[in-house]
Every structure is written in C-alpha cells, then in structure tokens.
A and B are shown apart, each in its own frame.
Chain A
C-alpha cells in the first residue's frame, strides 16, 4: 500500500529506510537497513522474526521492498462426523517479499521458508530500482528504475520473465501505483502518468511537482458521486508526495482531459517518507492518512475528499516520540518514527520508532481530540539485541526494590481502622480542621514548655524527656535513636513520666513505625510501649479519635501474635518432652516409673483445662468493654501485656533454662487470641 522510502539519502538518518508492513493484519514489519540486511519483525511482540543478508548486499543494497498480496491457504476441512472440531491454521500467510536493489536486480524472498525464492535479473533494469508494486490479483510485479523504464514481471509461470519493458519517462521513474481495479498504473518521475495496463498507453498526464515524486497512492476505491457509471478509475483520488516537498498533492482522475492541476494538498513539516491510509468505502467515511516525515514525526489527516480546496490542509494530529529527560542535565531527545500503519480496526496506529537496527513497534490508540501527542519512551535498553528471549519467548517483567511490599501488620495490608461511620463526613472534616489548629497551638505550647523547662533547670537540657520531645518534633533520627535504644527500664519509666502530654501520640506513632522493623529492635520498643500505655492511659482514653490513631498498632500486634498460639503449643509440647526426658534420666537411679507418669499426665490436663475457663473469662470481660465505649484503656493494657509477653517469649526461645517461667505465661498468652478475633468486628 504505502510507498516505501526512496533510496537511502543519508545513512545516518534512519528516516527513509525502505520498510513495509505485511498486508492484511500487519503481522510483520520488513525493514531493509543501510547495511544491506533485511530484517523482518513481528509486530505483535516486537520480536526479530528473521534476518536475511543477500549475497550481494554490499554492492546492491536494497532500495525498495514490497510484500506480495496475502497468500491465502485453506486450513479448514469440512466438518466430519467423528470429530466435532477442526483446526484453523495460520489462515492468512504472507510469504513473498520483493526487494529492489541498487544494481537493478529484484529479489523475491520467502519469509515462510527463510530463504531466497528467486532472483529477477534477466531483461530487467540496469540501474537502481526505485519502486516495486505487486498487482493485487494476477501476481504480476511492476518495477521502475533510474534507467527510465518500467518492467512488468510475471512471477507465476515457470520462469520469471519480463512481460513488458517500456520507457516510462524521460528521467528516472521513481514511483508506481496500481489502481484499485487493477487495470491502470500510475507512474511518476517528475510528471505523473496514468497508463492503461493492457495496452501500455498513456491515459492521462498530471503535472505539478517540481521534484521527483517519491510516493504515490490511491486514496479512494469509489468515485465520490454515484450518478455517472463507474469505469474503474474515473473520479478516483490519488495522493502524491515528492522529494524535498512539504506538500502532499491530491489529484482526481477525470473523464475529460482538461484539469491537470492538483485538487487539494496536505501540508506536513518535512519530506514524507512513509504514507499509510485507510481507504474510505463510502462517501461519508473520511479518509484517514498517516504521513511519516523525514524529521521523524507522524502527521494524521482525516478528510472527506470532495472536490477542490485551495488552502493546503494542516494535520489533525501530530505524533512525536521523545526520550525521558532524566534530571535536569539531559534534555529529552526526539526519537524518529520510521513507519506508521493503521491497524485493521482503523482506530489505532502501529508505530515503528527508534533506530533501524532495533526498532520498537508499538500499537497506539488514536484519540481524535488531541492535536498533538507526545509519547515519552525509554529505548535505551533496546540497543542490546536480545537473542535469548528470541529463542525462549519468555519476557521477564521488572521486579525492583522500589516496589512496595505489604506484609501482614504493615499499614495498607489490612484496611485502616476508621472512625465509626455514624458520623457524617461534614462533621469529620470540621473536626479535622480543628484538629490541625489544635496541633499548631499545641506545638506553640510545647515550645513554651520547652523554653520554660530550659529556664527552670538548665542542667537537664540533654535529659531524655527533652531529647525525646525535640527528636519527635524535628523527626531527628539520631536523636530518637539515642533515646529509644536505651535498655534501662527505670530510665524509660522516668522519661515517659516526665514527657509532655502532647508528645505521647507522636511517640506512639514513632514506636509503631519502629515495631514494624526487625523483631530484635521491636523488643526494646515494647518496653517503651508498655511504659507509655501504663503511664498515659488516662490521657489516651480521653482522646476522641484514638481508634484510628492506634489502629495500625493494633493490627500490627494482631498479625504478630497470630502464630503465637501455635508457637506456645509447640513450646508446651517441648517442655513436656524435656521434663519427661529429665524425669526419665532421674528415674534411672531413683524410684518406680508410676509416679512420674502421673505427674506428666496431670500437667498436660492442667494445660487443657486452663484454656476454656480463661477464654470465657476474657471474652466476657471484652464484651463489657465494647459496650461502654470507654474501654480504650483496657484494650491498651491488654495489648501491652500481649506484646510484652511476646517479646519475652522470643527471648526465651534462645534460653532454654527458664522453662518453668515461660510455662506460666503460656497460659496467659494463648487466651488473648479469641479476644482479638472478637474485636475485629
């Protein structure tokens, strides 16, 4: 469809490299690069499908290429009685690719077999081939060249033969296009000529381009007015673009041979190198046109072709691709677009961009509203050829450390506890506002307090309460570390006692944050938490929004102690084992085994019996708490107990000597879980 790029003007600029999408569903994209290699890419997954180096790739580099019309293969067999299903194979296989070279030969390459199919030399061109077009029906091939001739090739019979060889122009013929009905041929050098294919006679002349025409394409398949009988070509529009020309001209084939000028024109920013369009099948449907310019931009036009228009039309949408500018140093650089093709749904565009060595193919959905689309793409990693992925067909999505990780207990893993939904949103927002104000006041107040304290007793400036409040206010990590990493229990107690009230909630939040970390550091934090909750319980219970404030802390604890019951079971069993072992060791020297057996049995039963009683006790207790909403204090105390024991438990896992003590706690711990569950409601 689209006219391939005309020659290789500048080997460094990627624009203008001959390339084409395969017909029908654009499964492949063929690109003949300046180093003489032909590469075929799969458009769906951006994978290099095959690579072919013609034997004469250095002398005769590829100057143009064209896909043969789809080779339709029957894959379906009629339905049989026995098997209900039948297979659809690759129904539309596209096979042959015609390559024109700089020395005048034409190669037919089979993409299915991956090898050269045939080479057309005899009777052909003796100069650079400029354009190749396949006839859509009969398998003929038309080529034009710098040697001023047009050749019709027959590819279907046994030997590839030149059918016709005629002089197409006085200068080199640069572009060809076959009419939709297959009976006419457009050729262009400096002037555009319409040939009748059967007789090889000139039917019409069109003049208007000052430079050699580089691309020709028919834009309509039916004439705009259905009144007069349609002879296959009269009334059709076609489009032409020329070298160094920023205008694309639209011409109409007319029955009378008077008008020779262009009907209308489209303006673009640079010389067009690749043109694709969607054919409009009826009058109402506009023609969509995608023009890739030499400067690497794509211009999209959408226009209903009906008669003259004096002013050149500007594009409806421009697409550009740039690299992301990292930081302030590197500015975004444009990435050239090599080709653009409409998908079969006419609503999205396949864009090929980057360098010809490793182009990226992307499907972009078109929105008619935006006049300018700027896509930011990072193609830096595309430079390395990915051989391995080509073989294994495995793509590995990026998994980096920046990803957020949610484990049970971390805020976000479970829904945050919100204030009861009975309060309306308005009230909430008001309260929030008020809260903010209060906090500022509090801060001011806190400053006052600090200064007062400093005035009162100067030697205490670096005392722990002051350091703590300062650290919390400034969020100074080191200062906080200094305070919070103390192991002295008395010191902790005293600090908590002396600290100002407004710092309690920030401290709790800081502690929550630290608890989420490594369990070893959590051991220390638990001491702090315990102190805070015992000392400031009364203050905390007065806070109206305590539940959301301490929700994460609660969830964290809940998840941390989830496996505690299992652990304590294990612990109990281990103790049982150890005591039995020690007992049996003792029994060797001592008394009869009956007594010991009794002892062990009682212990176990005692454990089991303990549970139900305590569960009931605690549940009752908790239900009461829930009813009179002021039970925050109890909850906190519970939590504190829980955490404390948790920590201790961890300690004891290492030291086996304090078995008896842990066993005592075990009873207390395991009964906390049912209570937690009830609280979830």
Chain B
C-alpha cells in the first residue's frame, strides 16, 4: 500500500503570476512575482525562473524587498506569516508569525524594524493597515504580535495604499474617499469626491493610488478613466487637484518612475501610458500589450518597468518603452471551450489561449511555446463587446490538419459561425489556411472529430450541430488548369428525426461513425454513410461518447446527463453493462484500452480508470480535486515507464492531465516527494568568479604578472597545487549559510590569530617571485628576519667591498629602511 500513496496529484503550468505587483531586485537582474503559495524569482534578461521560494502554506499576498538589505525579500501570506528570504540562494532566513490573515505588505526604509500589513478585523469587509514590529532574534521562527494601528476602513487591495515622500505620509483610497495619514503629525485628512448619487460623476470611484517619491503629490486612478493629481493635501481646505484623462475605462494601476518625473498608467485598453512631467500634453504610449494591464511596477534602479496582465503574463519593459522580455504562464484569461488536445507534431498540449488564439503548451518543459492566431482580427479590449470566440478545434492526420470553429453570437437568433481548415505546410513549417466554411451549420457546432485511421489519402472530418444534422467533410482534389490544389467539401449530411446532434466519434479503424442525437446513439458506416443501428437507453442526453480501442474496439461507451455510464457491444448490438456514475470527463487512452472517467460529486471529483471489457475499474483515485474538473486528456509518454504494480500500470504509456474550473492544470505523478527532493543535494554548484573588467586590467595587471610567473615555475611538471579549498573546515565554513554560523565576534578572534600564523608561510611563498628583483628583496622582508638579512647584507658588503660608492649608498639606504621598519615594529610592540 505504500506504492498506492505515491500516485499523487501535482500541479503543472504554475499559478497566476498577476495576482500582485511584481517586484524588481535592486540591480534589476531579477524580478519577483507571487505564484500561488510560492514566490518565483525570474531573470529579467532570460525570462527563466531562477528560484522558487517555497515555504508559505497559503496564497502569498505580498512581496517587498528588505529596504535595509537589498539581497533579502519579505513576503506575506494568508497563512499569517511574514517570511524573510535570501533570494540569491533561495533560502528562507526567518519566519515571523503574525497569526492573522495578511492581505498585503509594505516596507519603509525609515521604519527599520517594522513592516506594514493589511489585516481584516471583525467584520468581513473592514480592513486595517497596521504596522508590525519584527523582533530581533536569532531563532528561525519568531512571534510578531506587536501591532500598531495606522489606518482604518481601507480597501484590501495593495493598489489602494501608497507611501509617499520617503514615508512621511501614507495615502489610502476607498470608494469615494482619499485618506492621508501623516506619520509625523499623526493626523489623518480625508478628501471626498462627489459620490455616485450625482449622476454626472457616476463612475468616479477611486481604483488605485500612487505617491510621488520626492514631492508631496498623490496620483489617484478612477473608474471613469481619469487620473487626479493631488497637491497641498496637508491643508484640509487649500488642497488642489488636476485631472489627466486618456483612459476610456477604469485605471487599473498607477506608478511613478523612480525620479518622479513621469507617471505610468494602464488599464483595460492594454496600453501603457507614460505621462511626462505630469502634464496632459507629454504622453508616450506603448500599445498592443495583449491584455488588460493589472499591475505596473518600476525597478529601483529606474531602468526597467514591468506590467502584469490579465492573461497571466508579465512584460518587462525598458525605460524607452520597448518590451524586452515576457514571462508567460499558462493563459488563464478566457474560458476553455476547445478542451485539451495534444498536437501530434510538437507533442504540446493545445487549448484556448489568448482571445482568438490557440496556445501550445509544452508539457515536457512546462512552459508555453506559442499562441497560434486563428481568428486574426484585432482584439478590441472593451467591456460589453461580444467577441468572436474560438469554440472548437481538432487535429487530424498526425497533425497535418487542424480544424477550428469560431462563433460570435450577438443575439439569440443571430449566430455567426465559421469553420477553418488549416493544413500544415512542411516546407515552411507552419499552418496554412486551406478551406474556410461560412456557416457550416445553422446552429452551434457541438462536436468536431477527424477520422484518425491510417487512411492517409482520404482525410475525413465530421461536425455535429444543434441544428440536427451532422456533416461529413472530405478532402477532394480542386486542381484546375492554373494550379494544383486540394480543398474540403461536404460529402454527406445526416440527421436523425430532427434531434440535435450532440457528439460524434470515429472508431479506431475509421470504419464506423457514432453520432449521438440527444438520447439516441446512431452508428453509421463510414464507407456508404448508411445508418447501421441505433442504441437508446432512455437515460438522459448523451454527454460523452467514445469507442473502445485495441482489444476493446467492439465496445462503445456513452455517458449520459442522468449519471449513467453505458457500454454497448457493437457485435451483438446490445448493452453490455451500465454503471451509475456522474461522468464529467471521459477520455480514452490512445496507447491502451484504458478509459479514464472523472465523476463529480458534492465532495469533489473522483477518477476511475477502466477497460470497456470489464465493468470493474482498474484504478480509483478519490477526491483528485475539490473543484469541478472540466477537461482531461491522455498525453503519450516519450519514454514509457514500467510500473509493475497493477494499480498504476495505466500510467505506463500515457500521462493523464486534467483541467479544473479555475483553470489549474493537474496531473498524476508517481514519484515520491523524497525522490524528487534528493537531487537538490547533488545539485551542481559551480562557483561564480566574475570576469575581469577593464578597470581590473589597469589596477590588477601587476598582480597578474606575478601570478603568471608562479605558473611558469610550475608549468613544466605535473603539479597539484596546494589548495586552501581542499581543507574541509574552510569549505564547510564557506558553504554554510550565514544565519547558521556562530556570531562574527566569536569567529573574529580565531581569524585574527590564524592570520598571525599564516604570515610566516606567506612570506616564505613570496620569496621566489622576488628573485628577479635586483636588490630590493630585503626591503620586502618582514621584521622577524631582520637579523638574518642583516647578515646577508654584511656578507654582500664584504664581497663587493671594492665596489663604488653607489653600491654603498644603496646598502645604506637599505640599512635606513631596516631601521625604519624596526622602528615601526617597535611602535606596534608598544
């Protein structure tokens, strides 16, 4: 039973990146963003994730750099803790337990030992800004219960709080109020705008606030798209404000640049607006950012901006308004209509992405490959517009064909449908539109499926629709004298007593087509398009339909809305078995007979894996997700696993992925967490040594020459150099995190004493490099050797006694130097 436990549900694709503002590191090399329970550290240059800081037990709600140490990061979470991280190495340094649900976090350089958090007290909708004193202690986990109240009745979003002018005041907005609290005076002033009762100002609610970093100036964003700049707000009467208006919809976020010369704003228009000098005339735009701007942040160095977007991406933008990098998660903006598919060519997961796009998501590398623009129309970001939606897509013939259906419905009766058939062009390695069908059906298309049998020469597509028909489309030769071409034409239209066609499905060999018409399943011969037989169970409308595969290809499975799963035998044309199961998702495994069904109950979703030939399931996993599971798919593995245990043999050839209602992509992992954790210890830690700069070349040239000479000396023979790195004590000292080490004062005395010892060895090492120098070797010698050198000097003098005055003077000089040195040493001794 130990093995059973090891099949666990794991998340892929990451969580939302756009929940809170991203934060830049002080040197703009890294960008931090919250992602579910984690904080992700990305490189701004390469978009890659460098570290994942994990330790919080609930949603992370705020991150800020430690203003006193730029290599540390504070984070707060709904689990009631504030954690301090070392982001360079990805180590948790300290945990401060506050014990209340924390909604946002702010830090101030002035308030060294405290941070500001938003908490929720008493009533569900009343939020407070409080400062939390972080006690100094050496322990890892510290209780921080000393809260002091700052502001009451504020909005829970961190966008509605801003600290200004180096922390002299804090501004908060909610509904129609702007409240400013001055830390020095400890007073609060409140400014009101006319409320919604006045029709003229129907939508001037505050949405966000930003404070000028240097001056007393507050910028507020409003629901009607206006930006107000408030000045002189320290006086309740004399305050003024000016308006900037470009946005036509709500201002989502505001940010001042580091110097405060320009203001950045963004909203649903997905245009980043830079207001220079806070005037309406000087505007710069960065348009077409793809989706609604949710957050804007500015790097402390001032060279980068970044915008978080509603389609789960972060764009890093240069100071000159040029996008430089995109950190893209699984797009979670739109509803998933197409379901999950696997592109046979790239082995990527395909689903709805950006509006009107199909996103290709690589599961092997766990990142998005690209978005394929299917609709190819400019997306207009406006609320209340009815957009063209990509509703169905299917791959056929080993990825050579892609069929997409898009629809737009303004009113009940006015439906616009379009089906596009794309051919993969091998020469250019991309999809090319082959056939466009306007209004392929008179009503919504409910299912789309290719015949994926080995009939390469004759691709077949079936569409079923609510208008009661299903259409068979085949590829025909459209060549004429001008060009060679192929195109799709309708070959057959079928219907059954004017019922709505709800599902369609080809058998594995492509010989049979099953189409469900509400409660009835019809089987058609794909050669002649004759109706072969019908099955009817009177158990509600058919929701899912699929044929068995391989040895189970004689079975047809149908799941109904009334919670019955039926299995029909196609040879005897009779019901083989049925089970009571409220099936939400039913997916056949392309590599085996297995079929996965996910059922929905009030507690959660359960997974059943079974073979159509036997009604007993192979594997049951209860409660895989609390939410409703919407889609699922089997993805063939590149390298088959070899599980011997019967319980999860079904995972050998393929992996099962499923998508919940909140669009989290989940899968099953068989590796135990320990197994995945062990490689960390083996992690390759290559040491960083920075390359030399030109500055170094000027200053360090001399030293380098000396090094070179050492090397020359050792070059001729095979030598293992004496390495301090090989001493285990030193390497241990250097590899241990700083917070685990004993205090510096304790180490210092030992260090100093060790230096005293090492001096001898050092001097002895230095001898060979001074050999070349003519006479100056003594000058470098240390005091302890004075007597010795004096003797040498004496012998020198006797040997070279006949020499000239010049020589004498030199020796005299050296004598003098020695005396000087002696003097110094004498002083130090004193």
Which residues of A approach B to under 8 Å, CB–CB? Answer: 25, 27, 42, 44-47, 49-50, 55, 68-69, 71-80, 82-91, 93, 95-96, 107-108, 111-119, 122-123, 139, 154-167, 200, 324, 343-345, 360, 362-363, 375-378, 381, 389, 391-400, 402-408, 411-416, 421
Interface centre among A55, A89, A122 (most CB of B within 10 A): A89
Q: Pick from B132-140, B484-492, B537-545, B784-792 the stretch touching chain A.
A: B484-492
B45 to A118, Cβ gap below 8 A?
no
Q: Which of B710-730 contact A (CB under 8 A)?
A: 711, 715, 718-721, 723, 725-726
Residues from chain B with a CB closer than 8 A to the CB of A164 are 718, 720
B684 to A69, Cβ gap below 8 A?
yes
Query: In the complex, A93→B472 CA distance in Å?
Result: 46
- Contact A122 B37, CB 8 Å, known A25-B365, A45-B360, A395-B372: no
Query: In the complex, A113→B31 CA distance in Å?
Result: 11
Query: In the complex, A119→B50 CA distance in Å?
Result: 21
B46 to A112, Cβ gap below 8 A?
yes
Query: In the complex, A343→B347 CA distance in Å?
Result: 12
A45 to B43, Cβ gap below 8 A?
no
B431 to A397, Cβ gap below 8 A?
yes
B490 to A412, Cβ gap below 8 A?
yes
B754 within 8 A of A: no
B433 to A399, Cβ gap below 8 A?
yes
CB distance from B41 to the nearest CB of A (A): 10
Query: Can you give 27 contacting A-B residue pairs, CB < 8 Å?
Result: A44-B365, A76-B10, A79-B673, A85-B625, A86-B10, A87-B15, A88-B10, A90-B49, A91-B676, A115-B45, A116-B691, A123-B711, A157-B723, A157-B726, A158-B734, A165-B718, A166-B718, A343-B638, A377-B429, A381-B428, A392-B326, A399-B432, A404-B434, A406-B436, A406-B437, A412-B487, A413-B437
Q: Which 4 A-B pairs have the closest CB atoms?
A: A72-B679, A412-B489, A114-B45, A114-B46
Q: Pick from B52-60, B508-516, B568-576, B737-745 the stretch touching chain A.
A: B52-60
- Contact A89 B8, CB 8 Å, known A158-B734, A405-B436: no
A404 to B687, Cβ gap below 8 A?
no
Query: In the complex, A111→B434 CA distance in Å?
Result: 40
Q: Pick from B166-174, B230-238, B419-427, B773-781 the stretch touching chain A.
A: B419-427
A84 to B625, Cβ gap below 8 A?
yes
B366 to A111, Cβ gap below 8 A?
no
B360 to A162, Cβ gap below 8 A?
no
Query: In the complex, A178→B37 CA distance in Å?
Result: 42
A394 to B371, Cβ gap below 8 A?
yes
Interface centre among B472, B666, B677 (most CB of A within 10 A): B677
Residues from chain B with a CB closer than 8 A to the CB of A118 are 686-691
Residues from chain B with a CB closer than 8 A to the CB of A68 are 684, 686
Select which of A80, A154, A362 is within 8 A of B429 by beta carbon: A362
Residues from chain A with a CB closer than 8 A to the CB of B9 are 84-86
Which residues of B approach A to under 8 Å, CB–CB? Answer: 8-12, 14-15, 29, 35-38, 43, 45-46, 48-50, 52, 54, 57-58, 290, 315, 323-326, 328, 345-346, 348, 354, 357, 360, 362, 364-374, 376, 422, 425-440, 471-472, 476, 478, 483, 485, 487-493, 528, 530, 623-626, 638-639, 664, 666, 669, 671, 673, 676-680, 682-692, 707, 711, 715, 718-721, 723, 725-726, 731, 734
CB distance from B249 to the nearest CB of A (A): 22
B686 to A96, Cβ gap below 8 A?
yes
Query: In the complex, A85→B625 CA distance in Å?
Result: 8
Query: In the complex, A55→B430 CA distance in Å?
Result: 37
B426 to A377, Cβ gap below 8 A?
yes
A363 to B489, Cβ gap below 8 A?
no
- Contact A122 B11, CB 8 Å, known A139-B684, A397-B374: no
Residues from chain B with a CB closer than 8 A to the CB of A49 are 46
A87 to B38, Cβ gap below 8 A?
yes
Query: In the complex, A398→B683 CA distance in Å?
Result: 45
Select which of B38, B376, B718 is within 8 A of A399 by beta carbon: B376
Interface centre among B14, B437, B530, B680 (most CB of A within 10 A): B437
Task: Give me 10 other A-B pairs in contact (C-beta within 8 A), A25-B365, A89-B52, A119-B689 excluded.
Answer: A45-B360, A76-B669, A80-B57, A87-B37, A392-B326, A394-B371, A394-B373, A397-B431, A397-B433, A403-B434
A159 to B725, Cβ gap below 8 A?
yes
Identity of the chain A residue whose Cβ is nearest the Cβ of B436 in the assembled complex: A405
A404 to B485, Cβ gap below 8 A?
yes
A324 to B687, Cβ gap below 8 A?
no
Select which of A69, A123, A363, A391 is within 8 A of B346 by beta carbon: A363
B373 to A88, Cβ gap below 8 A?
no
A413 to B669, Cβ gap below 8 A?
no
A77 to B689, Cβ gap below 8 A?
no
Query: In the complex, A392→B354 CA distance in Å?
Result: 11
Identity of the chain B residue whose Cβ is nearest the Cβ of A68 in the assembled complex: B684
B492 to A406, Cβ gap below 8 A?
no
A85 to B346, Cβ gap below 8 A?
no
CB distance from A137 to the nearest CB of B (A): 8
Identity of the chain B residue whose Cβ is nearest the Cβ of A155 in the assembled complex: B686
Identity of the chain B residue whose Cβ is nearest the Cβ of A380 in the assembled complex: B428
Residues from chain B with a CB closer than 8 A to the CB of A55 are 691
Residues from chain A with a CB closer than 8 A to the CB of B436 are 403-406
CB distance from B180 to the nearest CB of A (A): 39
Residues from chain B with a CB closer than 8 A to the CB of A123 are 711, 721
Query: In the complex, A210→B444 CA distance in Å?
Result: 72
A163 to B434, Cβ gap below 8 A?
no
CB distance from B56 to the nearest CB of A (A): 10
CB distance from B379 to the nearest CB of A (A): 11
Query: In the complex, A160→B430 CA distance in Å?
Result: 46
Residues from chain B with a CB closer than 8 A to the CB of A416 are 489-490
CB distance from A533 to the nearest CB of B (A): 26
A91 to B366, Cβ gap below 8 A?
yes
Query: In the complex, A86→B668 CA distance in Å?
Result: 11
A122 to B707, Cβ gap below 8 A?
yes
Residues from chain B with a CB closer than 8 A to the CB of A90 are 48-49, 365-367
Residues from chain A with a CB closer than 8 A to the CB of B12 are 87-88
Query: In the complex, A122→B365 CA distance in Å?
Result: 37
Query: In the complex, A114→B316 CA distance in Å?
Result: 15
Query: In the complex, A108→B365 CA distance in Å?
Result: 23
Residues from chain B with a CB closer than 8 A to the CB of A411 are 489
B687 to A73, Cβ gap below 8 A?
no
Residues from chain B with a CB closer than 8 A to the CB of A75 are 52, 676
CB distance from A334 to the nearest CB of B (A): 15
Residues from chain A with a CB closer than 8 A to the CB of B491 are 415
Residues from chain A with a CB closer than 8 A to the CB of B664 are 85
Identity of the chain B residue whose Cβ is nearest the Cβ of A119 in the assembled complex: B691
Residues from chain B with a CB closer than 8 A to the CB of A85 are 9-11, 625, 664, 666
Query: In the complex, A95→B734 CA distance in Å?
Result: 22
CB distance from B285 to the nearest CB of A (A): 17
Query: In the complex, A117→B684 CA distance in Å?
Result: 13
B14 to A89, Cβ gap below 8 A?
yes
B684 to A96, Cβ gap below 8 A?
yes
